Structure 1
Amino acid sequence: MYTPGTHNVLKVNGADFKQCVSSNASAVPLTSGNDVIALSTPGKKWYICDVADHCSKGMKLVITVSAAEAPMPAPLPGSPALTPPPTSAAGGVSPLKSFALMVAVMAAYRMIMA
Structure 2
Amino acid sequence: MASAETLAARDFEAMMAQADLIIGHAGIGTILGALQLGKPVAIMAREARYGEHRNDHQLATLERFTNVPGVTAISSADDLTACIKALEDGDGQVETPARLPEGADPGLLQMVAEFVDVSGQKP
TM-score by length of 1: 0.32
Tell me which structure has the larger Cα radius of gyration.
1
Normalized per residue, which structure has more strand?
1
TM-score by length of 2: 0.30
Normalized per residue, which structure has more helix?
2
